[in-house]
């Protein structure tokens, strides 16, 4: 492949793999760095047979480690590498923290070397358990710096700090998006996210696990809308941060009932104790995204869930039923080493 211009860290993950599809479809050359800790090379396997294959390279690398010296010049860096599911990021909290901090630093160093623009995939978790509702970008958050979620929340906060520090000190072009819950095909069964948990449990006829009384709210954004927002932000003229998420708020119980209806499942709903520091309400104020990016979500929760359920239905039963399959962070789940898909 000639010079890959767009780097996607975490490109084998849920969001990253969809982003690669969109970048390649619009003609970009794409390089992925991924350690396969929570991602899956199979999310990118279709590219091997696609007309885009000559413009796509996949390399196995932990972004918290020094980056390979032989990377070609980069024009854009989408920094998505980081486990996103609480089950994963809490299992290896040190590595999670280092991925967001050292990984961000390495991305910014690479950007400075090449004069590239960096987009950081930050998160609504920087708002912690919010005391302000809905959450606007001006809200500074309510995060427990020593709690079990801190490796993720505080890691992402430091990553934002590093981006702005680089921008001020080195004039680097940075873009920060704060993503709220996103869902869609290529979520992995058993990785602990509420949408994939409910769908897999419903399809298997098992009880749907609701933590607390289910009255806590989340807003769910379909992956196509999220990726559209990432592309618009990268091409925009502002640093951000910008919230990207669906402002339609649902209780977790409502989501469980909708999944039951759309799957036609007779599963029961089973309640478990609420984990510590679990946010009670989550809804983005997306006025800035509307104003600066002309972005707002287009896909309704019902339509998006139908697509996601169809994806899980066609998955081989062995995969959909294997809650453990993706549970071991840092053990590569694909044998892909450096190389071109």
Among 179, 227, 233, 255, binds ligand NAD (CB under 6 A): 179
Question: Which two three-digit tokens encode residue 330?
Answer: 């840092």
| Residue closer to ligand NAD, measured from CB, 100 or 265 | 100
What does the alpha-carbon distance between residue 200 and residue 186 come to, in Å, rounded to a whole number? Answer: 13
Residue 35 engages ligand NAD in binding (rule: CB under 6 A): yes
- Whether the upstream peptide bond of residue 220 has omega within 30° of 0, thus cis, is no
CB of 12 to ligand NAD, least distance (A): 4
Query: If 0-12 CB within 10 Å is exposed, 13-18 middle and 19+ buried, where does residue 254 land?
Result: middle
Please answer whether residues 254 and 215 qualify as being in contact, where contact means their C-beta atoms are separated by less than 8 angstroms: no
CB of 332 to ligand NAD, least distance (A): 9
CB of 319 to ligand NAD, least distance (A): 15
Residues whose CB is less than 8 angstroms from the CB of residue 66 and which lie 6 or more positions away in sequence, other chains included: 106
What does the alpha-carbon distance between residue 130 and residue 126 come to, in Å, rounded to a whole number? Answer: 9
| Residue closer to ligand NAD, measured from CB, 231 or 267 | 231
DSSP 77-141: EEE--S--SHHHHHHSHHHHHHHHHHHHHHHHHHHHHHT-EEEEEEEGGGGBS-SSSSBPTT---
| Residue closer to ligand NAD, measured from CB, 265 or 320 | 320
Residue 121 engages ligand NAD in binding (rule: CB under 6 A): yes
223-242 residues in contact with ligand NAD (CB under 6 A) are: none
What does the alpha-carbon distance between residue 286 and residue 330 come to, in Å, rounded to a whole number? Answer: 35
User: Which among 58-66, 210-218, 277-285, 303-311 is the span making contact with ligand NAD, rule CB under 6 A?
Assistant: 58-66
Kindly write out the interface string for residues 79-118 of this chain, putting x where it contacts ligand NAD by CB under 6 A and - elsewhere.
-xxxxx--------------x---x---------------
Considering CB under 6 A, how many residues would be counted as binding ligand NAD?
Answer: 29
| Residue closer to ligand NAD, measured from CB, 154 or 265 | 154
Residue 284 engages ligand NAD in binding (rule: CB under 6 A): no
Q: List contacts with ligand NAD (CB under 6 A).
A: 9-10, 12-16, 33-39, 62-64, 80-84, 99, 103, 121, 123, 179, 181-182
């Amino acid at each position: 492949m000639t010079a890959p211009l767009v780097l996607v860290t975490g490109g084998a993950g849920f969001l990253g793999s969809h982003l690669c599809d969109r970048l390649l479809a619009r003609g970009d050359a794409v390089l992925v760095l991924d350690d396969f800790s929570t991602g899956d090379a199979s999310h990118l396997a279709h590219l091997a047979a696609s007309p885009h294959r000559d413009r796509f390279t996949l390399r196995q690398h932990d972004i918290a480690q020094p980056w390979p010296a032989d990377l070609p010049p980069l024009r854009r860096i989408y920094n998505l590498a980081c486990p996103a599911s609480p089950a994963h990021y809490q299992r290896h909290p040190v590595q999670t923290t280092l991925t967001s901090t050292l990984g961000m630093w390495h991305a910014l160093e690479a950007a400075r070397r090449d004069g590239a623009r960096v987009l950081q995939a930050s998160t609504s978790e920087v708002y912690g358990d919010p005391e302000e509702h809905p959450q606007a970008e001006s809200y500074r958050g309510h995060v427990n710096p020593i709690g079990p979620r801190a490796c993720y929340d505080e890691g992402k906060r430091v990553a934002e700090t590093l981006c702005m520090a680089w921008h001020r000190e080195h004039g680097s072009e940075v873009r920060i998006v704060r993503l709220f819950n996103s869902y869609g095909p290529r979520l992995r069964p058993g990785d602990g996210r509420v949408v994939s948990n409910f769908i897999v449990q419903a399809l298997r006829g098992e009880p749907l696990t609701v933590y607390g009384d289910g009255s806590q709210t989340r807003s769910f954004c379909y992956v196509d809308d999220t990726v559209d927002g990432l592309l618009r932000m990268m091409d925009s003229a502002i640093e951000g941060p910008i919230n990207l998420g669906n402002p339609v708020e649902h209780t977790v119980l409502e989501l469980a009932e909708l999944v039951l209806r759309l799957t036609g499942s007779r599963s029961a709903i089973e309640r478990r104790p609420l984990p510590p520091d679990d946010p009670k309400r989550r809804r983005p104020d997306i006025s800035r995204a509307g104003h600066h990016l002309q972005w707002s979500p287009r896909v309704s929760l019902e339509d998006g869930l139908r697509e996601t359920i169809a994806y899980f239905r066609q998955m081989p039963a062995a995969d959909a039923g294997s809650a453990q399959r993706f549970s071991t962070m840092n053990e590569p789940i694909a044998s892909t080493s450096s190389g071109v898909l």
